[in-house]
């Protein structure tokens, strides 16, 4: 099946690990050039180089914190300088939370607002002009099933991912005339490093059986009684 992705340019946030890295490899396999964005430069650059060698596409890494406005401005500058723009934006960066609503301070709410919602807003403002000049594009937001059905132990995550989903719906109305499609995917239980980190935090004072904790969640919430993989 020809997906018409050869020589397109994709920007992927959270692109050095988990779902973001799996997306990057899937696009590279179709001949898409990549700009990967993540906070840890060593791992980011290593993955970009590996993908470049394996798939024969251009793959660059930009170390940036997408919760910070000036870092996003740098990402946009690099996209323009290195590729002349972008055709695809994958807003994948994010992280879980385990504070309750009553406990979480304003600073924690602001951080999750910035990384889950404002990063998508700022990247759209920066990259949509390129897509318009190229005749169209695609923006894909990786939200979560929690955007529709909250988990009790991730309240800030639930709320900000729901906001991201509504932003996606609203942005799609604004950009449809420009031939830019905007969609959201809401993954369920996917075994990412963030899930493992959260499980370890929640079981630290209960013997540290994080694997048993994840197994119990999968049996309760997943019809196949296991976590999915990023590649799936």
Looking at 55, 112, 157, 213, which residue is catalytic? Answer: 157
Q: In what order do the strands lie in the sheet with 33-38?
A: 59-63, 33-38, 9-13, 88-91, 137-142, 180-185
Please report where in the chains the tokens 């990549």 appear, as a residue: 34
153 is catalytic: no
Residues with catalytic roles: 157
């Amino acid at each position: 099946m020809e997906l018409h992705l050869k020589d397109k340019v994709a920007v992927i946030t959270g692109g050095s690990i988990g779902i973001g890295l799996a997306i990057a490899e899937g696009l590279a396999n179709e001949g898409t050039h990549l700009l990967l964005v993540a906070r840890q430069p060593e791992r980011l650059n290593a993955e970009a180089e590996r993908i470049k060698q394996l798939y024969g596409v251009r793959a660059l890494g930009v170390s940036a914190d997408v919760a910070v406005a000036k870092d996003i401005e740098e990402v946009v500058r690099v996209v323009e300088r290195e590729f002349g723009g972008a055709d695809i934006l994958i807003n994948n960066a994010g992280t879980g939370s385990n504070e309750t609503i009553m406990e979480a301070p304003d600073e924690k709410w602001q951080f999750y607002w910035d990384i889950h919602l404002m990063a998508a807003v700022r990247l759209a403002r920066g990259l949509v002009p390129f897509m318009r000049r190229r005749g169209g594009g695609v923006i894909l937001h990786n939200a979560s099933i929690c955007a529709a059905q909250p988990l009790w132990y991730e309240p800030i995550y639930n709320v900000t991912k729901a906001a991201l989903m509504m932003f996606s719906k609203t942005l799609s109305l604004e950009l449809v005339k420009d031939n830019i499609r905007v969609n959201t995917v809401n993954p369920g239980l996917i075994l990412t490093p963030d899930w493992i980190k959260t499980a370890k935090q929640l079981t630290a004072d209960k013997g540290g059986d994080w694997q048993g904790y994840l197994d119990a969640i999968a049996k309760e919430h997943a019809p196949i009684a296991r976590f999915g993989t990023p590649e799936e």
